[in-house]
Amino acid sequence: MFLRFKIPFLFLFLFQFLEAASSESLFVLEKNNQQLAEQAIDRTMSQDYDAAIELIKKMETKNLGVSCVFESIILISRFDDLGDTLDLIQSHSKLSECKTEGSWDAIRNYQLGFVKSQMGHSIKGALTTRDAAGYFKKSKDLNAMAFYSIYGYYLDNSFSFLPFVSDERENYLKTLEEASKKSNLFWPLFSTSLIWIYYDRGEFKKALEVAERVLKEYPKNDVFLQIKADMLYKLKRYDEAILIYLKSANEYAKKTGYSIRYWCAVANLIKMYHEKGDLIQSDLWRKKLSNDSFKKLKKWIPSSVLNDL
């Protein structure tokens, strides 16, 4: 559920949005299914993915489409953590085949757009995301407004250099802040998107505050711990960031071996030690990049992590 959406400017320029009727409550689930979904989110944030999927499977008999959406969210979250590309492939397959309606179909497309982009199909991903975001454009449902705010923010950001063009970015941020605190179903996704928007704006203190808010509830979440370290690094709090990434490298080496997250930790330690002025430690960690596993997984590592290595 830790998605970082960036919509290519070229495609934003070409698209117009679909219109959706206003709705005060688009994501209504029967009480038992609502409880199952919220419990599954809790398990996902606790990184107990198998337990989360077992909970969602209980929804299948009554609502196969919605259970498919949530199972895919869990698979994407597990990929983000453990780095197994089979989870991404499985999520793509499920999202492409499952049948959903209305707002849940928009959520399905939102997730599918992200997966397509991650798999290297950026044009198809952008098109799919465009349609999903457009569905929510005029809804008053907080979740829907937040989903549109992610897309709308990057749209307005792309056109910000033009005079006399509407700029709703501050309103989108307010909506995401509210949804990251109040949404029962999608708050981790909104929190993550909010963090990376603040990061892109250079507002690292605000990004850190959101990450720490999540970690207050889930202090052992390895993904958000890395995110916290990223923000500490940008705030030049090198010693704190290094401690987190040293622990993170050790944890991922144990649970996943040489995975994407492990190499993210290594790459960041190289840069952090270098900026701190400890060139000996920086070089020691740099030598690890000669491993064949790094060369195989390099294409999956965000370019921002690899910059300046």
99-137: per-residue pLDDT in tens?
888 889 888 888 888 888 888 777 776 777 777 777 888
pLDDT band (50, 70, 90) for residue 26: confident
Q: What's the residue count for the chain?
A: 309
Phi, psi of 251 (to 5 degrees): -65, -45
Q: Quick one: average pLDDT of 5-16?
A: 34
pLDDT higher than 90, residue 270: yes
Of 125, 151, 177, the residue that ends a domain is: 151
Question: Which pLDDT belongs to residue 13?
Answer: 32
Question: Which pLDDT belongs to residue 11?
Answer: 32
pLDDT band (50, 70, 90) for residue 272: very high
* Contact call for residues 111 and 70 (beta carbons, < 8 A): no
174-209: per-residue pLDDT in tens?
999 999 999 999 999 999 999 999 999 999 999 999
Lowest mean pLDDT: which of 25-29, 81-85, 266-270? 25-29
Residue 52, CA distances (Å) to 49, 55, 122, 167 in order:
5, 5, 29, 39
Question: Which pLDDT belongs to residue 146?
Answer: 93
- Domain of residue 284 covers 213-309
pLDDT higher than 70, residue 5: no
Q: Quick one: average pLDDT of 270-292?
A: 96
Question: Which pLDDT belongs to residue 6?
Answer: 40
Of 151, 173, 199, the residue that ends a domain is: 151
Structural domain contains residue 192: no
Query: Based on the domain organization, do 232 and 306 belong to the same domain?
Result: yes
pLDDT higher than 80, residue 17: no
Positive or negative: CA dihedral 242, 244, 247, 248? negative
Structural domain contains residue 44: yes
- Higher-confidence residue of 124 and 59: namely 59
Read off the CATH number of the domain in which 218 is found.
Answer: 1.25.40
Query: Based on the domain organization, do 1 and 146 belong to the same domain?
Result: yes
The number of CA neighbours under 13 Å toward the Cβ of 236 is 3
- For the chain, the average pLDDT equals 87
Lowest mean pLDDT: which of 10-14, 117-121, 250-254, 305-309? 10-14
Structural domain contains residue 59: yes
Query: Based on the domain organization, do 143 and 279 belong to the same domain?
Result: no
Residue 237, CA distances (Å) to 37, 204, 221, 232, 233 in order:
37, 11, 21, 5, 6
> How many domains are there within the chain?
2
Integer Rg of the chain from CA: 19
DSSP string for residues in 240-260? HHHHHHHHHHHHHHHHTSS-H
Structural domain contains residue 205: no
Query: Based on the domain organization, do 254 and 139 belong to the same domain?
Result: no
Question: Which pLDDT belongs to residue 1?
Answer: 46
pTM for the full model?
0.87
Structural domain contains residue 177: no
Query: Based on the domain organization, do 147 and 223 belong to the same domain?
Result: no
Question: Which pLDDT belongs to residue 87?
Answer: 95
- Higher-confidence residue of 285 and 30: namely 285
pLDDT band (50, 70, 90) for residue 18: very low
Structural domain contains residue 89: yes
Query: Based on the domain organization, do 139 and 19 belong to the same domain?
Result: yes
- In the numeric block, which tokens belong to residue 295? 């060369």
Question: Which pLDDT belongs to residue 291?
Answer: 95
- Determine the 3-state secondary structure of 289 from DSSP: helix
Query: Based on the domain organization, do 246 and 111 belong to the same domain?
Result: no
171-183: per-residue pLDDT in tens?
999 999 999 999 9
Residue 59, CA distances (Å) to 71, 100, 104, 189 in order:
10, 14, 14, 21
Structural domain contains residue 271: yes
Q: Which amino acid is at 286?
A: R
Q: Which amino acid is at 283?
A: D
Structural domain contains residue 141: yes
pLDDT band (50, 70, 90) for residue 25: low
Of 99, 130, 151, the residue that ends a domain is: 151
